[in-house]
Structure 1
Amino acid sequence: MKPKQPIAALLGGLLILAGLASLALPLKWVGVIPAMIGGSLLYLSYRPGRGATMLFGHACLVTGCLLVTWGIYLLPHSEPKLLHILGRPLFWGLISIFGGICANYHGFCRCVGAADAKSACSETPRCSAHRT
């Protein structure tokens, strides 16, 4: 089966591989975060639509909350340098939360609803809403 969104499939596969590779690190649970995002991206690439977009958005929200919690725990050890801020999980957790909110709002967008309606209507031969 060929993915409908090959770039999302490639990124999802790479994130899953990165998550599996990071399980060898001393902090073994860190590999769950990229694997979770990669799995939802891989699902989104094969089954695009409202449900997959909402699943991806919620996975981003959960991952962002985990990263923010971890980042707050590491906050006393942070330094006010640009690379130190960008390398900490607090920053990426906030980015992930905002991306999850964006994906959830996009799940209710008219363009995603129209794509779902056209794919559902293409299966029924007498759909009057999307005749060409």
Structure 2
Amino acid sequence: MRSVLVVLGSKDKSLMDKRVSLADSIFLSSNFDCIIFSGGNGEAEYMAEKWNGDKFILENRSTTTLENLLFTRKIIGDTAHIVIVTDRSHVPRTRYLARRVFHCSRVEVIGVPATGGFLMKRFFYEFSRWVRHVFQ
């Protein structure tokens, strides 16, 4: 595969809806070989049901961002171009991990805006998780 779009799951269905919507517009306006919905506990299946296309692969074993990326790498191997869709508060940590996992590929991480009362909570959660990965 030359170019793959990856959509990361979330426990928050409204965030997954936004991610799938953004992925749909990106996929239709670009030349991707396929889209991968990544997330365990029914997340990948939920996103696939919301998507209006047919060239998709489910990665439904992962329960963390790192697992999302590692299991996706097993599916796609050495792909030239990878675009990952998540939410904005998740972009820095996802980018950091993706560069470690997909070291020989060109990786872009795009985030949908997170809204609602949990915005600051998500920021602090993501910051603490990112720091944990950096110092592991």
TM-score by length of 2: 0.29
Who wins on radius of gyration, i.e. which is larger?
A: 1
The structure with the greater share of residues assigned to strand is 2
TM-score by length of 1: 0.29
Select the structure with the greater relative contact order (CA < 8 A; seq sep ≥ 6): 2
The structure with the greater share of residues assigned to helix is 1
